[in-house]
Homo-oligomer: A and B are copies of this chain.
Amino acid sequence: MPLPNAAPSPFRSREERERDREEKREAVLRAAVRMFNARGFHATSLDDVAASLGISKPTIYHYLGNKEQVLIECVTRGLELLSAAADTARAQPGDGLARLRSVLRSYALVMMDDFGRCVVRTGDEFLSPEGAALFRARKRAIDLSIRALIEDGIADGSIAPVDVRMTAFTLAGALNWPGRWHAPDGPLTPSEIADAMVDILIGGLAPRT
């Protein structure tokens, strides 16, 4: 049993050092994603990112190989949030429509997160062919998740017999949009925005007779 050690030792164990390293990597990514979102990828230099953290550019290269890698990690984090949203909500109880509603809500919330925004603000054209292919594959998986849910809903009668493919595009398009306009200091909370959008998409505009 390890002795309790009140005064923290300045000597770090292997795990502590690895955790430190991971923390620094994360800090770089957070700083980078914010600047990418605010000014655009090409308009953000790694010198800027480094300066915002009070470090120098080679330090960034030490933790993340090159500029594209930084972007890819940011986008990947966002895509993982999106996948997680789709997967957990899909596993919930309820009919297709209820589960879809839950996924859409989570999706919208992710789009108001720094990493989520980054997904929608990053065009394929910023990535190398390999990076872009990976990016597309992961987005496609999310799209398929949503389509599956729509199909479930149509099968159980909770969703009208719509065109699944176009519906998934339309829903995703609408929910991606906050990633471009939402400002975190606006009057509405992300949760309110998500609810309002989902209601409109689920219910449509024409009055129920």
Contact = CB atoms under 8 A, between A and B. Distances in A.
A200 interface: yes
Given A42-B42, A125-B43, A176-B173, A158 B200 contact: no
A86 B45 CA distance: 39
Which size class do A's interface residues fall under?
Answer: 35 or more
B126 A40 contact: yes
Interface in A194-208: 196-197, 200-208
A169 interface: yes
Interface residues of A, dominant DSSP: helix
A162 interface: yes
A207 B173 CA distance: 21
Given A40-B126, A43-B42, A204 B201 contact: yes
Interface of A: 38-40, 42-43, 97, 100, 121, 123, 125-126, 150, 153, 157-160, 162-163, 166-167, 169-178, 180-181, 193, 196-197, 200-209
Given A158-B206, A159-B206, A166-B197, 16 more contacts: A43-B125, A153-B205, A157-B207, A160-B203, A162-B200, A169-B178, A169-B181, A170-B174, A170-B197, A173-B174, A173-B178, A200-B204, A203-B205, A204-B204, A204-B206, A208-B209
